[in-house]
Amino acid sequence: MTLRDAVRTADNTVSKHARELARISSNRSAPQLERIRAFSEIIDREIGDTWLRRSRGLERDFDQGKLYLKFEGDNPTGTQKDRIAFAHVEEALSENFDRVALATCGNYGVAVALAAYLAGLHCEIFIPAGYHSKRIEEMERLGAKLHRPVGTYEDTVAISRQWALERGCYDANPGGDNTDLQLRAYAQIANEITQSLATVPDRIAVPVSNGTLLAGIFSGFERLLKNGHIDKLPRMIGASSIRKNPIVTSFLAGSRRCIDLDPASIKETSINEPLINWHSFDGQEALNAIHESGGGAWHVTDEQMRKMSSYLSQKEALQVLPASTAGLIALTAEESDHSLQIAVLTAKR
C-alpha cells in the first residue's frame, strides 16, 4: 500500500525493514551511536528519491513543451516536509535531545511526529487554535502532544520556539538557525532531478509558503553549477494564493526585499491554508532565488487549484493536494516556448 491508496497510519507509510530499524532507533536504552545509525538508514531507505515522470496529457491539454511532474507524495507522509522533518530529528538524536518542538498548520507536524516516533523522541506540536487540520489525528496517533495557542501561524512559531528554549528542547521550527539545514535537505531534489533527466530543466515551479522549498532547490542547483556538474541554472517559478504570500506579492511589486503583509488581510480557506503567510520565514532566500535565476512569481486562485487537483485525479490518477498545484498552474498559464519544465507536487491527504 502507498500514500496514493490514502494510507494514514505510521505502520503502513514506512517499509517493514524501516519498522525493524526503528526498534533500534527508538530504543532509549540502546547505545546512542546504534540508534543514530539505524535512524540514518531509515532516512536512506524512506526519504527522497521521489518519482519524476513526463506528462504528455498536460503537454497536449495546455499546449506545453516537455512537462515533468516531481511527485513528493512518495515520501512517507505524502509531502516534501518529510525531507526536513527527518533531517531535524536526525540532528536532534545526534545531539542527544529527547524532545522536539515545532509549529505547524498540518503537514510538517505529521512529518516530524512520524520521524520522532521512529527515533524514540517526544514530540511537541503547536497548532494555531483557529486552524483546522485533518491531520491532527495522525499526529496524535504517532504520540505527539498538541498545543493550541491563540494567534497566527507566525505567532505560534514564536511561541513554540520560546517554549523549546525554556525547556532545553530541540527547536525544529522554520527560519533562523534552522534555515541552512532545511535548505540542504531540499537541495537534494535538485540532485534527483539532474540525475533523472541527465540535464538541467529550463524552469522549475513550486508552491511557496515560507519559501524554503524553492530556495532549497535553487541552492542545490547552485552547488551543482559551482562544482562543475551542470552548465546553467533553471529559472525558478513560485506561485501562491492571491495577495496572501509575501514572496509572490513582493516580486510582483518589483521589490528585491521580501516585505511582510498585513496579518489582518490574510484569510485562510480549506484550499489555500498551506500557502498563506503574512511573514515567510525564508522568504528573502526564495525571493533572491527567483530574481537571480531570472524566474517569476504568480498569484493563483482557490478555484484554479481545485480544478487542477481534479484534473490530475482524472487524467493522471494522482491524488494531489490542491495547494501544491500552484506552481503547475503558473507553468501552464505561460505561453509555451517548448522548454523543459518541472512542477513539484504533493499528495492529498
- Residue 268 has a pLDDT of 84
Q: 342: part of which helix (H) or strand (E)? A: strand 341-345
Q: How confident is the model at residue 348 (pLDDT cuts 50, 70, 90)?
A: confident
Bridge partners for 102 per DSSP:
125
Alpha-carbon distance of 327 to 297, in angstroms, equals 9
Q: Tell whether 232 is covered by a domain.
A: yes
Confidence label for 9 from pLDDT (cuts 50, 70 and 90): very low
In this structure, is residue 72 part of a structural domain? yes
Q: For residue 150, what pLDDT band results from cuts at 50, 70 and 90? A: very high
Q: Check whether 200 has a pLDDT greater than 50.
A: yes
- Which residues form the domain of 215? 49-78+179-345
pLDDT tens per residue across span 163-186 = 999 999 999 999 999 999 999 999
Directed axis angle between helix 107-119 and helix 32-46, to 10°?
Answer: 140
Output the pLDDT for position 13.
79
Note whether residue 268 is domain-resident.
Answer: yes
* Residue 199 domain-assigned (yes or no): yes
DSSP secondary structure letters along 199-265: S--SEEEEE-SSSHHHHHHHHHHHHHHHTTS-S--PEEEEEEETT--HHHHHHHTT-SS-PPPPGGG
Indicate whether 186 belongs to any domain: yes
- The model's pTM is 0.93
**pLDDT of amino acid 3:** 30
Alpha carbon dihedral 251, 256, 262, 268, in 10-degree steps, equals: 40
The tens digit of pLDDT for each residue in 21-70 reads 999 999 999 999 999 999 999 999 999 999 999 999 999 999 999 999 99
Residue 219 belongs to some domain of the structure = yes
- Of 5-9, 45-49, 190-194, 314-318, where does mean pLDDT reach its minimum? 5-9
Structural domains counted in the chain: 1
Residue 139: its pLDDT value, please? 92
Q: Is residue 262 part of a domain?
A: yes
Whether residue 86 lies inside any domain: the answer is: no
Domain at 311, CATH number: 3.40.50.1100
The pLDDT, as a whole number, for residue 2 is: 32
Helices and strands of the chain, counted as H and E runs: 14, 10
DSSP string, 263-301: GGG----TTTTTT--SS-TTHHHHHHHHHHTT-EEEEE-
